[in-house]
A and B are shown apart, each in its own frame.
Chain A
Amino acid sequence: MTGRLKLTGQLLALACVAGLLALLVWKLTHQEHAPRVGAVAPGFTLQRLGGPGTVSLSSYRGRPVVLNFWASWCNPCKGEAVVLQRDWTRYRSRGVVFLGVDYHDLAPDARRFIGAHELTFPMLEDGSGQVTGRYGIHQVPETYVLSRQGRVVAHLAGPITAPGFAADFRDALAKAAA
């Protein structure tokens, strides 16, 4: 009787250890990383910010996409917004799509931000951060430039107005729009 109890206890302990190991392996293999240049950008469908309906990234396949992650509480995003709006008006005639993804933000504050900066390109809300997580976003602003095939042409982890990024952004836009 005691032998069987001992064996059951040992099997239970083993099962617990195996379960914990499985959890560790699952966590390690499911960590989210930023998609690399050349990789296909993760697809998503998000609610429009300040408007009805949703927007899917896949619906823009065949057109270059500038995917900008921002938040109203982010100071560098303010300076960047002006440049993004200017580039959007410049490149939209060439078929380039600009999408803003609002990250971990309160919707009313985000709407005020859009109004204050007179941004007219489509804005999507990702309050829970699910999509931004798949893009490996840990700070804002960050911008991805995607090719017509939905592949990453450039990933700029910082404001596109930064000295190092301004030229990279223009080059990536030209490359994606070509």
Chain B
Amino acid sequence: MILRFAAVVVAALALAGPAAAACSHPRTSLTYLEGQVMCPTCHTTLDQSNSAAAQQIERFISQKIAACWTSERIESALVANYGPAILAAPPHKGFDLLAWWLPIVGVLAGALVLAFGVWRWSRRGGSEPEEPSDSGLDEETERRLDDLLARFD
């Protein structure tokens, strides 16, 4: 029984060893690429889709992973077949760089505007002018009014 088990383990290792060693780099995974690649008919990533087109691409990716293709090579093959829209994120080059930089620029600009607003508000708060008197009358009129009222006391 033990001999049989040992034979099975040795056979499994003998089969798995060359397959694992065949890749000179870490294997990419279907789970990773499912989040990077779009389903062309449903416009969601593959991991969100169960359509026939998505399943076809998943099969393609699995075959290429088994053949030791890198994720970059698989993505390039998909782009060659479906065009750049097959990728969930735009490439880091050319006009597509705008898609990466614009949100960062937007957030920074927003933060600057906010910081400027807070700075101005705090400055205005520090040198706030004294409130005018409740009556809104000048000193002379107020004095004359006091004199007039004093006559009735």
A104 near B52 with CB under 8 A, answer: no
- CB-defined contacts of B90 to chain A, threshold 8 Å: none
Q: Are B60 and A106 in contact (CB under 8 A)?
A: yes
**Distance of A3 Cα from B55 Cα, bound (Å):** 60
Contact A107 B53 (CB under 8 A): no
Could you say which of A22-30, A34-42, A72-80, A83-91 contacts chain B?
A72-80
Contact mask B30-41 → A, CB, 8 Å, 1/0? Answer: 000000000011
**Count of chain B residues near A, Cβ 8 A:** 14
**Size bin of chain A's contact surface:** 10 to 19
1/0 contact string of A110-143 vs chain B (CB within 8 Å): 0000000000000000011110000000110000
Complex CA–CA separation, A104 to B52 (angstroms): 11
A2, A72, A139: which contacts B56 (Cβ < 8 A)? A72
Q: B83 and A73: CB pair below 8 A?
A: no
Q: For the complex, what is the distance from the CA of A105 to the CA of B60, rounded to whole Å? A: 11
* Residues of B bordering A, CB below 8 Å: 40-41, 52-53, 55-57, 60, 81-83, 85, 113, 120
Listed in ascending order, the chain A residues whose CB lies under 8 Å from chain B are 2, 9, 71-75, 104-107, 109, 127-130, 138-139
